[in-house]
């Protein structure tokens, strides 16, 4: 802390970082503008889904854990429904 107090640094020279990277696999219906569809399936790749913070559209301003857990639960429900449909 002493170094920061003595260093000639202004707030304009500081960079804020986030340690919850999100949004690297955008979700959407259009394969040209997104990586996964609303059911977490990767466009154009059969049998591959992405279910993590990658599908979040951008910074949340809070820890992303609950959001990712909600996505995981929804994805599990979707997968369960799909497996039940295959059995009928």
Q: What is the pLDDT of residues 25-71, one digit of tens each?
A: 999 999 999 999 999 999 999 999 999 999 988 878 788 899 999 99
Q: Which residues are catalytic?
A: 20
Total-model pTM:
0.70
Query: What are all long-range contacts of 36-42, with beta carbons under 8 Å and residues at least 24 apart?
Result: 39/75, 39/78, 40/71, 40/75, 40/78
pLDDT in tens, 3-27: 767 777 777 777 766 667 788 999 9
Please report the pLDDT score of residue 69 as a whole number: 95
Burial, 71: exposed, middle or buried (Cβ in 10 Å; 0-12, 13-18, 19+)? Answer: buried
Phi-psi region of 71 (alpha: psi -120 to 50; beta: other; left: phi over 0): alpha
For the cut 90, the answer to whether the pLDDT of residue 75 exceeds it is yes
Strand, helix or coil at 1? coil
């Amino acid at each position: 802390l002493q170094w920061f107090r003595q260093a000639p640094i202004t707030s304009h020279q500081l960079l804020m970082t986030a340690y919850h990277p999100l949004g690297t696999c955008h979700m959407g219906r259009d394969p040209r503008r997104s990586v996964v569809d609303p059911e977490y399936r990767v466009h154009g790749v059969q049998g591959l889904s992405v279910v993590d913070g990658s599908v979040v559209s951008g910074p949340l301003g809070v820890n992303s854990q609950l959001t990712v857990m909600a996505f995981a639960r929804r994805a599990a429900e979707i997968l369960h429904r799909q497996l039940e449909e295959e059995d009928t």
